[in-house]
Amino acid sequence: MAFAYFPHTPDDIRQMLQRSGVSSIEELYSDVPEKFRFKGEYDLPDAMSEEEVRRYFTHLDSLNTRLTVFCGAGAYDHYSPAAVKYIISRSEFLTAYTPYQAEISQGTLRYIFEFQSMVCELTGMDCANASMYDGPTSAAEAMLMSVASVRKRRKVLISSSLLPNVIDVVRTYTGYHGVQTDTIEISDGVTSLEDLKRKLSGNDVAGVLVPGINRYGIIEDLEGFADAVHSAGALMAVYSDPSSLAVLKTPGEWGADIACGDGQTLGIPLCFGGPYVGFLACRKDLMRKLPGRIVGATEDLDGKRSFVLTLQAREQHIRREKATSNICSNQSLMALYVTVYLSLMGPEGLKKVNDLSYGGAHYLHRKLLETGKFSVVFDKPFLKEFVLATDIDVPYLQKVLADAGFFGALQTEEGYVSFCVTERRTREEIDALVAVVNDVIQK
C-alpha cells in the first residue's frame, strides 16, 4: 500500500532492482548475517493517519495543565513578536543543512553573521560563534576553552551563585575532561571576591566563571573581579542573561575575557526546556580558541560580498581528536530566532522588556512583603527574579498556586522561595496570584 513519505511504485521498485543487479530488496541485505536480521514484530503503534496523529497529540496536550508562569531559574516567559515564528518557519531556513556549500547557503550564513554581530554588541565582546546547544553547555565550553588557552593549568573556579544546572553541567564536562573544578563561596547572596582571591592565590587556575545575574536573581557587582582573575594569570567568563544586557553592565565592561549564557530570554518559547540556544563570545585574542562554527565575510570570484564558514581548522571534522571541541551541529535555527527577535525589538524594545519586567517583579516583591509572611533574604538589586524567606510550606504553596493556574513559588536548594515576573505578566495576573497567597496565609 502506498505511503505518503515513500514515492516508490511497485513498477519503480522492479526497474530499480533490475538496474541494481539484484532480484529482490532482501538481496540488498544478503551481506547481513542472518542472526542479526530482525524477524520479529516491531513493538510500535499501528501506522496512523494524520488525523489520528493530531488526535494523539491533542490528547497529550490535554494531559498537561497550562499555567501562568511566575518562575524563571533558567527559563523565562518572554514576549515574542509574531513575525519571528513566521520567519523561522520558512522552509528555506528550516530544511537546510549546515552551510557547507556557501553558494547556496548565503541566507543561513548571513543570519549567522548577524547573530554573531548582535551577540558581540550585547556582551561587549569582539567575536562570537554561531551558537551553542544551551546556556549550561556554553558555560562548560567556556571553561574548557579557558583550560585550552592557559598553558599548563587544569583547574577552574565557578561561583556557587550560578544556577544549579549550570554548575552541574560544567562539573560534568570538566570532570570527564580531567579538569579540577572548585566553587567560589557565596557571601551575602553574591560571589565572594575575598574567597575568589584566596582560591586564585595558588596561581594554578585557568578560568573563572561568575554570573551576571545569579541564582537568587541578584545583579552581581563584579567590580574588581577581572583584576583579581587577570593578576593570577587566569581568564574570566561571565554567564549572562542576554536580554538583561540591554540595560546591565556587559561582560566586556566588567573586563571579562569570555561571555556565555542562554539566548532563551530573547523571546524563545519555554517549550519544556528546549530547543533554546547558547551563546559564546570572547576577546579577539581568544578567537582561535572558540569552539563551534564561525561565519566570516569575504568576496567571491566576481568581487561580491559573500559569507563562509571560517577558521575551520579549529573544528572536529578537520582536527578530529585535536579539535577544541566536539561540537558539530549548533542550534542554527534558534540563532535565527534570536536574530529576528533582536532586529524587531531593537535597543529600545529590549530596554522596554527589562523596564516592564523590573516594574512587575518589584510590584510582586512589594505585595508579597506586605502580606507579612515573607521577608527579604538579601537586600541587593534584582531585575525580574527574586528570592524571599517564608514560614509558609513552599511545596504546599506551589501546589495551591498550580491548582489556581499559576506556576510560582519555586523552592530553592537553600529553602527560599523564588518568583519571576516578565513583561508578559499583567497587574491583574499578579494581583490574582497574591490573592491566592493571601488565601493560603489565612487558612
Partner 1 sequence: MKYYDKLIFELSKEGRCGYSLPDNMWEENTGSIPSGLRRTSVPRLPQVSEVDVVRHYTNLSDMNFGVDTGFYPLGSCTMKYNPKINEEIAGTAGFQGIHPLQPRSTVQGVMKLYNDLSASLSAITGMAAFTLNPFAGAHGELTGLMIMRRYHICRGDLKRTRVIVPDSAHGTNPASATVCGLEVVQVNSLPDGTIDVDHLKTLLDDTVAGIMMTNPNTLGLFETRIGEIADLVHGCGGLLYYDGANMNPLLGVVRPGDMGFDIMHLNLHKTFSTPHGGGGPGAGPVGVAERLRQYLPLPRMDGEEPEENAGRISGFMGNFGVLLKAYAYILMLGRQNIRMAGPLATLNANYVKESLKDCYMLPVPSVCKHEFVFDGLADQSTGVTTLDVAKRLLDYGFHAPTVYFPLLFHQSIMIEPTETESKETLDAFIDVMRKIAGEAAEDPDLVKSAPHNTPVRRPDETAAARHPVIRFQY
Q: By CB under 8 A, what part of segment 303-342 binds partner 1? A: 304-308, 310-313, 315-323, 325-334, 336, 339-340, 342
Q: 352 or 373: whose CB is closer to partner 1?
A: 352
Among positions 398-427, residues that touch partner 1 (CB under 8 A) are: 398-399, 402, 407, 410, 423, 427
Minimum Å gap between C-beta 58 and partner 1 is: 8
Q: 170 or 200: whose CB is closer to partner 1?
A: 170
What are the φ and ψ backbone dihedral angles of 235, each rounded to 5 degrees? -105, 145
Q: 116 or 159: whose CB is closer to partner 1?
A: 116
Strands (E), 289-345: 295-299, 305-309
Residue 271, interface with partner 1 (CB under 8 A)?
yes
Integer Cα distance of 21 and 261 in angstroms? 55
Q: Given strand 127-128, what is the order of strands in its sheet?
A: 127-128, 278-282, 258-262, 235-240, 207-211, 155-159, 180-184
Integer Cα distance of 237 and 363 in angstroms? 32
Binding mask 32-51 for partner 1 (x = CB under 8 A): xx-xxxx--xxxxxxxx-x-
Q: How many residues bind partner 1 (CB under 8 A)?
A: 205
Minimum Å gap between C-beta 117 and partner 1 is: 4
Among positions 204-243, residues that touch partner 1 (CB under 8 A) are: 219, 221, 223
Query: For residues 107, 341, 134 and 78, what is the CA-based torsion angle, rounded to 10 degrees?
Result: -160
* Antiparallel, parallel or unpaired: β 295-299 and 305-309: antiparallel
DSSP for 358-393, please give it: HHHHHHHHHHHHHTTSEEES----BSSEEEEEESS-
Integer Cα distance of 178 and 292 in angstroms? 21
Binding mask 167-206 for partner 1 (x = CB under 8 A): -xx-xxx-xxxx----------------------------
Q: 104 or 435: whose CB is closer to partner 1?
A: 104
CB-CB contact of 384 with 72 (8 Å):
yes
Among positions 5-24, residues that touch partner 1 (CB under 8 A) are: 5-8, 12-13, 15-17, 19-22
Binding mask 124-153 for partner 1 (x = CB under 8 A): x-xxx-xx-xxxxx------x---------
Residue 247, interface with partner 1 (CB under 8 A)?
yes
Q: Classify residue 307 by its DSSP letter.
A: E
User: Quick one: which of 162, 286, 350, 433 contacts partner 1 (CB under 8 A)?
Assistant: 350
Residue 432, interface with partner 1 (CB under 8 A)?
no
> If you count them, how many residues does the chain have?
443
